[in-house]
Structure 1
Amino acid sequence: MPTSAARAALAPTIAYRDVLSDDGTMLRAWTNDPEGRLDGPTVLLCNGLGTNPLHWPALLRRDCGVRVVSWNHRGVSGSDRPRDPRAVRIENFVEDALSVMDHFDLERPVVMGWSMGVNTAFELAVRHPERVAGIFAVAGVPGDTFATMLGALHLPHPVARAVTVTLARGLRLGGWGLSPVTTRYPFGARSLEALTKVGFIGRVPDPELAAMAMAEMLSTPVEWYMHLALTTSRHPRVPLSRVQVPATFVAGTHDILAGSRDMGTAARRMPGARYVRLRASHFVQMEHPDRVHQLLRELIDRVDRA
């Protein structure tokens, strides 16, 4: 479940639903339209791994004009862990996305993805093209994500993958000792400032909300988070030739978790795709909420005209 601070922050704008995925895993789904009165288009959000609604400040505004439907990943913030711990692949997340879409009666929405959620969005479009009207990809690549990390160091893809996978394995092994500390850590303004100084996240318009987002993220045990990361890291590049919908890629120039150059390459391989680079870290939608939201609305308009 979300932490008490996160629950209080989200109470006016977020409603939760329990949704059963095809393999029997109970998911905690959510929408920014608690009363079902929001007048505007509906999009499906495939969120970043282990993240939460607080990472999308523009979508929490009552006047955002976009109805969002999403869910928390397996074993994260109220969603159950699957009976089979191996069932946390991108393919499983695609099935979760379909279950959530069916629950909310979404036939063919624009699909948003952030970080590893971009993998899910593109895999959904390849496997079920009839269910995806467009793709809004934020700080993520359509497969083989770990090979694009540490882009600022200009490492060859195999080296970047080896380094990041090894680090994730180490954290998974050591997670049992770290989690009692991290899950209780009082993440606040000073912690956010420390992450800003080292360049992990840039300056944000709403530091208090950002700190709550990070605190909620830390509520997931390290070993489970790294298990999710390592399993999804095996997801290969998707065949972009099979994705025939309007798309927008939004990259952060200082992103160390998803290569902006690789996002640009993917965009160039999709006819008509738009590629936008913003001066930001991996948390581009938190640092530039208005601009990212504007880009989302522009993609929705393109889809409506298509």
Structure 2
Amino acid sequence: MSTPRAISESTVAFRDVLSDDGTLLRAWTNDPDGVIDGPTVLLCNGLATSAWAWPALLNTDCGVRVVSWNHRGTSGSDRPSDPNRVGVQYFVEDALSVMDAYGLIKPVIMGWSIGVDTMFELAAIHPERVAGLFAVAGVPGDPFSTTLGPLHLPRPIARLVAQSMARGMWLGGKALSPIASHLAIGPRVIEALSHTGLIFKVPDPELAAVAFREFLANPVEWYFHIALRSSEHNRVSLRRIRVPAMFVAGRWDLIAGSRHMATAAARVPDGTFVQVNASHFVQMEQPELVHRLLQDFLTQVEQKARADR
């Protein structure tokens, strides 16, 4: 398959970062040469996802310097020596290690999916390291309880369904991994998926196909092992969050319910909620809108910082 134009023209570059427990992480940035004259954002990405899931952030033209990393045991990052050293607690440690490696003192942090759990936990534990929180399609804690949001299931039922599905996939993962990693994912498959409700139409199906192929290259059993450990993350006390926070939700999100994000935004003292006509993959489906919201939020954070000086 040919390389999508968005990737061939991207400025994304990778480097190794050592986390505090000795796990080697594959970190990345869209601005390796430091040419962007704009704010820096730490991205806590969705579980086992990659840079290619963020079309608007792939090169220096976006005006925002992005720093991120790939989760433990996925897409070039090593597995920890103890396989149980995964989950939100350890993702926070990794985030701090990446911040230190790139010289980030107090950036705005952006999260997608489980990355929202990660960034809110980081903000609760280390408020001195966080300037603002931009949450995309994720909730701060107890993530499995907000799945299947459009069906309006009670949280305990949603959690039980999600846990049962994840355990089943974990148990069958070794048999499924060779199949998943060899699936021929291309633009036509992305088009077909857009009719399932999992993901809607995207402006760049070729790039989306690359993002899905990289995701499916990860062992299924390892992915669901991490997912189950991450699901143990308790809800964060949002009243403790003292920085601006924006929640961007997909109206039809099957993984992080929109109404749960709205409730979370209302509990943050300086929280804002925006609902987009999208699925869980809102930043792939409407990259320009999400990027505009991010830029507006960065301006808001900077204005607040100036007012507080």
TM-score (norm: length of structure 1)? 0.97
Report if aligned partners of 1:122, 1:142 keep a CA contact under 8 Å in 2: yes
Are 1:147 and 1:159, in contact at CA under 8 Å, matched by a contact in 2? yes
Structure 2's unaligned 5+ residue stretches are 305-309
Give the distance between the partners of 2:248 and 2:99, measured in 1 at CA.
24
Structure-2 residue corresponding to 1:192: 190
Report matched runs for 1:14-163 at 5 Å. 14-163=12-161
Residue matched to 1:275 = 273
Distance 1:93 1:12 in 2: 26
Give, as a single letter, the amino acid of the residue that structure 2 aligns with 1:96: D
Match of 1:242 in 2: 240
State the distance in 2 between where 1:92 and 1:228 align. Answer: 11
Q: What displacement does 1:6 show?
A: 8.2
Deviations for 1:60-119, whole angstroms, at most 9, x for unmatched residues? Answer: 143100000000000011000000101112010000000000000000000000000000
Structure 1 residue 272 displacement after superposition: 2.6
Post-superposition Cα deviations, 1:20-70, rounded to whole Å, max 9, x if no partner, equal 000000000000002221111100000000000010000014310000000
Aligned AA for 1:295? L
Q: 3-state DSSP class of the match of 1:276?
A: strand
Contact 2:31 2:66 in 1 (8 A): yes
Q: Distance in 2 between matches of 1:268 and 1:12?
A: 37
SS of alignment partner, residue 135 of structure 2:
strand
**What TM-score comes out, normalization by structure 2 length?**
0.96
Q: CA deviation at 1:128?
A: 0.3
Which amino acid in structure 2 is aligned with residue 74 of structure 1? R
The match for 1:303 is: 301
Distance, in Å, in 2 between the alignment partners of 1:204 and 1:61 is 19
- Is the Cα contact below 8 Å between 2:9 and 2:59 reproduced in 1? no
Which deviates more from structure 2 when the two are superposed, residues 196-205 or residues 21-30?
196-205
Other-structure match for 1:13: 11
Runs of 4+ in structure 1 over 3 Å off: 3-8
1:287 partner letter? E
Q: Tell me the equivalent position of 1:216.
A: 214
CA contact (8 A) 2:53 2:211 kept: yes
Q: Which amino acid aligns with 1:134?
A: G
Q: Residues 209 and 222 of structure 1: is their aligned pair in 2 closer, same or farther, counting only changes over 3 Å?
A: same
Aligned mate of 2:170, from 169, 172, 183 = 172
Contact kept? 2:19, 2:25, Cα under 8 Å: yes
Q: Distance in 2 between matches of 1:172 and 1:7?
A: 35
Q: CA deviation at 1:278?
A: 0.4
Structure-2 change in CA distance of 1:11 and 1:18 (3 Å)? farther
Q: For residues 195-244 of structure 1, give each alpha carbon's deviation from its aligned partner in whole angstroms, at most 9, with x where no partner exists.
A: 11111101111111111111111010100010111000010100101110
Q: 1:6 touches 1:216 (CA, 8 Å); kept in 2?
A: no
**Paired letter, 2:84:** R
Q: Is the 8 A contact 1:58 1:289 kept in 2?
A: yes
SS at match of 1:256: coil
Distance 2:84 2:290 in 1: 34
Secondary structure at 2:111 match in 1: strand
